[in-house]
Amino acid sequence: MSETVITYDEAMSRWDPDAKGRLADAARQLFVEKGFDETTVVDIATRAGLTERTFFRHFVDKREVLFAGDLMVDRMTAMFGDVPPDVPPIEFVALAIDDACDAISSNPEWSRQRARIVAEHPDLHERELAKMSMLASVLTAGLRERGVAPTVAAVAAEAGVLALRVGYERWAAGPRSKHLAPTVRVVLAELRDVTSEL
């Protein structure tokens, strides 16, 4: 009786570690090299040494690679418990936004290229706003759990997310600085000045 030996192409194995990270890295490289519109899911999977099916297990479509909202949500919620209970709502939000900024600043060159891609594609703006809305909801929920009144929680969260969005755009278009958080903090201070004048 002969034995059948089954071999697997390791480059195409769905069990390779960090498939999602490899797919994201491949997509980013291709978006820069070929352009966002010209890059296909097949291109991304091939570059990562994985299958198209594996891509769709991790991402809805290639646009989703540009949006790390889930990662930011995980980071934010993980740090909520570390913030002392007497911290004012807007400072709680600022600390959470700082943490999101750290994630963005971990790869500043890609973060700037990502901002350019989103700016150049109007169809991506809606998804960007949806991700920002998700962050605001998470921040609002975090504040409500701390006993903050609903309206105060919602306003503080929306102010923080607005500061993140405007600060990110300003940082991406401005002089090359590694850290995003200081720019976002400046925008948040500007928002406080504006609201104090109303």
Q: State the pLDDT at residue 184.
A: 94
Q: Please give the residue that has the higher pLDDT: either 106 or 160.
A: 160
| Residue 4 banded pLDDT, cuts 50, 70, 90 | very low
pLDDT value at residue 7: 39
Q: Is the pLDDT score of 9 beyond 50?
A: no
Under the phi-then-psi rule, with left for phi > 0, alpha for psi from -120 to 50, and beta for the rest, what region is 18? left
Q: What are the pLDDT digits (tens) for 22-69? A: 999 999 999 999 999 999 999 999 999 999 999 999 999 999 888 865
Average pLDDT of the residues in 68-88: 83
Tokens of 173: 């278009």
Q: What is the mean pLDDT of residues 142-160?
A: 95
pLDDT of 194 = 87
The pLDDT of residue 157 is: 96
Comparing CA positions, the residue from 74, 77, 12 lying closest to residue 46 is 12
Three-class secondary structure of residue 46 per DSSP: helix
Q: Domains in the chain, ordered, with CATH?
A: 10-64 (1.10.10.60), 67-196 (1.10.357.10)
Other C-beta atoms closer than 10 Å to the C-beta of 28 total: 20
Question: Alpha helix (H) ranges present in 16-174?
Answer: 19-34, 41-48, 52-58, 69-80, 89-105, 108-120, 122-145, 150-173
The tens digit of pLDDT for each residue in 171-198 reads 998 887 889 999 999 999 999 888 876 5
pLDDT band with cut points at 50, 70 and 90 for residue 6:
very low
Confidence of residue 142 (pLDDT cuts 50, 70, 90): very high
Residue 197: predicted pLDDT: 66
